[in-house]
Amino acid sequence: MQLQLISPLDMHLHLRQGDMLKNIAPLSSKYFAGALIMPNTTPPITTKEMVREYKKEILDATKGDNFTPYMTLFFKDYGYEFLKEIRDEILSIKLYPAGITTNSEGGVEKIDIDSLAPTLEAMSELNIPLCVHGESNGFVMDREAEFIPIYKRLAKAFPKLKIIMEHITTKEAARALQEEENLYATITLHHLYITLDDVAGGLLRPHLFCKPIAKRPEDKEALLELALNAHPKVMFGSDSAPHPRSAKEAPGCAAGVFTAPIALPLLAELFEKFDKLDNLQPFISLNATKIYNINPPQKMVTLVKEEFEVPISYNDVVPFKSGERVSWRVK
């Protein structure tokens, strides 16, 4: 059995910098036609020069792979003129509440619509979508649900701004998506596979620890419902976030699950299991091209139904399903 995917896109990807980037960027560019590159580097991407340099670093590492890195800016107050000038070099701006995840210390301290308005109005006018890591600073299992009213206020205050709820993990976010016209969402691979039970129900699994943390079974069900039916407001975004093994198997384990190189086989396995293989193409590419109005490079990726054993690690990065068998592989 074979499955042809046209121009798969990963609309939420962490490529890091330096040696880590050189190690892992080719594991995305090999399988995807393009990816939305998160700007929470050290320091975060906030200027045109940084966008250009970072893009060049990625293109150098992925040379020959027919891969488009869609660049983003780290949200802060930006003026209309600056945004107008940078418009063609970025695809969106990513907002992090301060301190909510890896390298987000410089994020927004308080999501206050009035103070964010000048930048958000400029983005709205210039058709620059806003990507949001939507978590409050409350109890870890409640953070996303507590952020929903902020998503809704933003959506109502800026009705022409496309707002993407990144890596949604809850039934509350799934519902909000349907209640506001200008809310969209990405869903990761791992949140379609795991709940908190997989992270902490048996032994504790640091390689499954991420932000937002995996939630309850009914939350996973709500995400599956959206993804498997390729809801038109939902796109695949892996949030693949590599850390060296030493940063994961540690007294303080960094948040992030590394899925990029095995995302397509595992999505095929999942969609096949639920008899929804036909919906993988819109989920993995078509929905994103419509939401972002992009035209990614033509790239055919063929999956075959043949067993494949996930490597224990990619250099020093342990992937999701490390050492396990998957029933599909990329040809």
- Decide if residue 110 touches a second copy (CB under 8 A): no
Q: CB of 14: closest distance to a second copy in angstroms?
A: 17
Residue 99, CA distances (Å) to 72, 103, 165 in order: 19, 7, 18
CB-wise, 110 or 139, nearer to a second copy?
139
Q: CB of 112: closest distance to a second copy in angstroms?
A: 23
Q: CB of 203: closest distance to a second copy in angstroms?
A: 4
Task: Please work out the total of residues on this chain that contact a second copy, with binding judged by CB under 8 A.
Answer: 28
Binding residues among 215-234 for a second copy as defined by CB under 8 A: 216-217
Distance between the two ends of the chain, CA-based, in angstroms? Answer: 11
Q: Please identify which residue in 61, 164, 199, 230 interacts with a second copy, judged by CB under 8 A.
A: 199
What is the edge-to-edge ordering of all strands in the sheet holding 2-6? 2-6, 300-304, 329-330
CB-wise, 141 or 294, nearer to a second copy?
141
- Decide if residue 260 touches a second copy (CB under 8 A): no
Q: CB of 245: closest distance to a second copy in angstroms?
A: 9
- Decide if residue 169 touches a second copy (CB under 8 A): no
- Decide if residue 64 touches a second copy (CB under 8 A): no
Give the Cα separation of 284 and 258 in Å (integer): 18
Q: Please identify which residue in 195, 238, 240, 279 interacts with a second copy, judged by CB under 8 A.
A: 195
Q: CB of 102: closest distance to a second copy in angstroms?
A: 10
Phi-psi region of 13 (alpha: psi -120 to 50; beta: other; left: phi over 0): beta
Catalytic-residue membership of 239: yes
Task: Give the bridge partners for 258, in sequence order.
Answer: 319
* Residues 55-67 as b or e (16 or more Cβ within 10 Å = b): bebbeebbeebeb
> What is the gyration radius of the CA atoms in the chain, in angstroms?
18
Q: Please identify which residue in 5, 86, 226, 254 interacts with a second copy, judged by CB under 8 A.
A: 254
> Contacts from 18-25 at CB under 8 Å and sequence distance 24+?
20/242, 20/244, 20/317, 21/57, 21/58, 21/61, 22/61, 23/242, 23/314, 23/315, 23/317, 24/240, 24/242, 24/258, 24/260, 24/314, 24/317, 25/58, 25/61, 25/62
> Contacts from 306-314 at CB under 8 Å and sequence distance 24+?
308/265, 310/262, 313/245, 314/23, 314/24, 314/27, 314/242, 314/258, 314/261
Q: Please identify which residue in 64, 252, 275, 298 interacts with a second copy, judged by CB under 8 A.
A: 252
Q: Please identify which residue in 20, 59, 157, 255 interacts with a second copy, judged by CB under 8 A.
A: 255
CB-wise, 94 or 207, nearer to a second copy?
207
- Decide if residue 250 touches a second copy (CB under 8 A): yes
Q: Please identify which residue in 49, 88, 110, 203 interacts with a second copy, judged by CB under 8 A.
A: 203
- Decide if residue 162 touches a second copy (CB under 8 A): no
Residues of this chain that bind a second copy (CB under 8 A) = 139-141, 195-197, 199-207, 209, 213, 216-217, 249-255, 318, 322
Residues with catalytic roles: 239
